[in-house]
Chains A and B, each alone.
Chain A
Amino acid sequence: MSFRVAIAQINPRLGDLQSNLALYEEKIRQAVKEGADLLLFPELSLTGYFLRDMVPNVALKLSSPEIAQLKKLSREVAFVAGVVEESSDCRFYNAAVYLEAGEIRHVHRKVYLPTYGMFDEQRYFARGSRIQAFDCRFGRMAILVCEDLWHPSTIYLAALDGAMAVLCPSTSPLRGLAEGQTHDENARYWEMINRTYAETFSLFMIYGNRVGFEDGVGFWGGSEIVDPFGRRITKAKYYEEDFILGEVSLESVRRKRTMAPLLRDEDMDLTINELMRIRERPSELTKVRPSPFPLPRRERIKGEGSRVKGTSASSVEPLKGSKTRKKR
């Protein structure tokens, strides 16, 4: 299965939904013209990034007319929109919405919200609580937004959940200069992890960033598609608006996973067991800290064949004296 991906490296207007919707439409037309099958927009590109107290003003319910307009546009080309989603219980999410053939197929709510240094996301947004792959007409994919990818757990989960390509809408600010480089230190870091993840998890990394400035903070652009062999299929300009295209062939995933079946050999149960042990480990300062939630019951993963190798429910011994453990 081979499909053409476009990335719209745009400069949205902060807090101006109408203007950004028009920009979306323009880029969708361009994607159609260039024969793209799937178009990626950057994180929060429908709203701008440093929204601060404007978040409630630009938030959209999935039932809103603006989203209806996006659904209609997705009949022409599938695309990922970067929006502020308002839930039915009035929470605001930094969300990426995948639309295809007139419908919303998947929503990823950003889980890891940077709230340090120059960032303040968790003040305004609710955290997402899922990392899931989803099926679309091109195959099985996942969406992870910007900071999500700075936690290797997310790409790990996406890969184990079957994603063969990861769409990464981003709104990444430029920062840090180094001698003799054509791009800033933050850009360098991103390029390193895109490549490392693509090769290590043998999948496509489809990374879309924005450009322009908001209150003096510039965004570094540099959007790219990296294949499972760590090769860059296409690369956008740094710091300037751009529109790039790349052919994604899932056959590459098959070939890479045949040559190096790292995912096949990944022992998920070991990871789960050790995480549970580590979670119960007493800290230096306090006694054994009970889990905030009752621990999940051990059960085989349902679905397309378990990847478990011979581990059983009793492989995790309850810690003596731990109050939250069920009596066996």
Chain B
Amino acid sequence: MIKIPTNVTLLRQILVSFIRNEVEKVGIHRIVLGLSGGVDSGLSAMLAAEALGPGQVLGILMPYKTSSPESLAHAELVVRSSAIESLTIDITPQIDAYFDRFPDADQRRRGNKMARERMTILYDHSARWNALVLGTSNKTELLLGYGTLYGDMASAINPLGDLYKTQVWALADAVGVPEVIVQKKPSADLWKGQTDEGELGFSYRDVDRLLYLMVDERYSRPELISAGFPEGFVDEVTVRIMNSQFKRRLPVIAKVSQRTIDRDFRYARDWGR
């Protein structure tokens, strides 16, 4: 059974350094992030606290009326154990106001609206508090497209974006995220009983092993099947990655000039920093 190379000591050192460097070089000293009660935001909060100091980190809890009380309790637990600043904003009024007009909206639309509402709150507070928005999406979610475009995927910097979920768990454990959070089943909590693995149809540990070989090690399809992954699983995941590529790119711009943004107009985000 292949093991994804993980080095929690090195990861912690590098990611803390990354947060400090990429925040401070733009002349800012604080970050805001959404605290869902999950392991990704819990870990991100603790790394940010270590990088910038707990007083420079604002965790915003944004429950909806159907959010599980456990999620809120876990988010509060993260606040207490990391000593960061926090704020709770119930998003029920604004979400319900909107869907009163469109009562036929399905679960997916409602879930996405909530994710985007949370994003707008984070960005508003980043302006209010002169902070950067810290993203908490991990590599597994990003590759599978399991996130809301311009919702939870939106951020200024993202320390976990190159870590598979399996690695997030290992690092969270090492950094001291409360055990109950590390151990629980991941869930976007956008509707009752939702779990990531239920929605995806496979476990994170299984898909991470596949993704690691497919993406990091560039195994071909025959090699993956020889490695023991069922053909159907390999194909399903491949299709998911392809079909979600649009979420990982800027919007497609029609090229008509000699120099087009992101195609022949190429500069680093850290331009002049």
Contacts and interface: CB of A to CB of B under 8 A. Distances in A.
Contact of B22 (A52, A182, A216): A216
B268 interface: yes
B195 to A, nearest CB: 28
A12 to B, nearest CB: 10
Given A177-B11, A184-B10, A212-B21, A53 B270 contact: no
Contact of B271 (A14, A183, A213): A14
Interface stretch (B12-20, B47-55, B181-189, B236-244): B12-20
Contact of A52 (B5, B10, B267): B267
Nearest to B19: A213
B10 A183 contact: yes
Contact of B265 (A53, A176, A215): A53
Contact of A14 (B13, B14, B273): B273
A239 interface: yes
Interface in B164-220: none
Contact of A177 (B10, B17, B266): B10
A179 B7 CA distance: 5
Contacts of B268: 14-15, 50-52, 54, 214-215
Nearest to B161: A216
A218 B14 contact: yes
A206 B50 CA distance: 34
A16 B272 contact: yes
A13 interface: yes
Interface string A1-44: 00000000000011110000000000000000000000000000
Q: For this complex, into which size category does the number of interface residues on chain B fall?
A: 20 to 34
Contacts of A216: 18, 22, 157
B7 A177 contact: yes
B101 interface: no
A214 B9 CA distance: 22
Contact of A13 (B13, B157, B272): B272
B94 interface: no
A180 interface: yes
B7 A180 contact: yes
B81 interface: no
**Range for the number of chain A residues in contact with chain B:** 20 to 34
A314 B266 CA distance: 53
Interface string B138-179: 000000000000000000010000000000000000000000
B270 A215 contact: yes
B139 to A, nearest CB: 13
A286 interface: no
A91 to B, nearest CB: 19
A85 B171 CA distance: 43
B177 to A, nearest CB: 19
Contacts of A53: 265-267
A184 B157 CA distance: 22
Given A53-B265, A216-B18, A13 B10 contact: no
A84 interface: no
Contact of A213 (B6, B7, B17, B267): B17
A179 B5 contact: yes
A182 B10 contact: yes
B269 interface: yes
Nearest to A178: B5
A181 B10 contact: yes
Contacts of A212: 21
Contact of B7 (A50, A181, A239): A181
A13 B13 CA distance: 21
A174 interface: yes
Contacts of A182: 9-10
A14 B21 CA distance: 13
A222 B269 CA distance: 26
B21 A15 contact: no
A54 B269 CA distance: 12
B21 to A, nearest CB: 4
Contacts of A218: 14, 17-18, 21
A214 B11 CA distance: 17
B61 to A, nearest CB: 27
Contacts of A15: 268, 271-272
Contacts of B18: 213, 216, 218
Contacts of B7: 177-181
A218 B13 CA distance: 11
A231 B233 CA distance: 50
Nearest to B4: A177
A176 B10 CA distance: 11
A225 B7 CA distance: 27
A180 B104 CA distance: 54
A9 to B, nearest CB: 14
B17 A239 contact: yes
A53 B265 CA distance: 7
Give the 5 A-B CB pairs with smallest separation, nearest first: A52-B266, A177-B7, A213-B21, A215-B268, A53-B266
Interface of A: 13-16, 50-54, 174, 176-184, 212-216, 218, 239
27 contacts: A13-B272, A14-B268, A14-B273, A15-B272, A16-B272, A51-B268, A52-B268, A53-B266, A53-B267, A54-B268, A177-B5, A177-B10, A177-B11, A179-B5, A179-B6, A184-B10, A213-B17, A213-B22, A213-B25, A213-B270, A214-B270, A215-B270, A216-B18, A216-B22, A218-B14, A218-B18, A218-B21
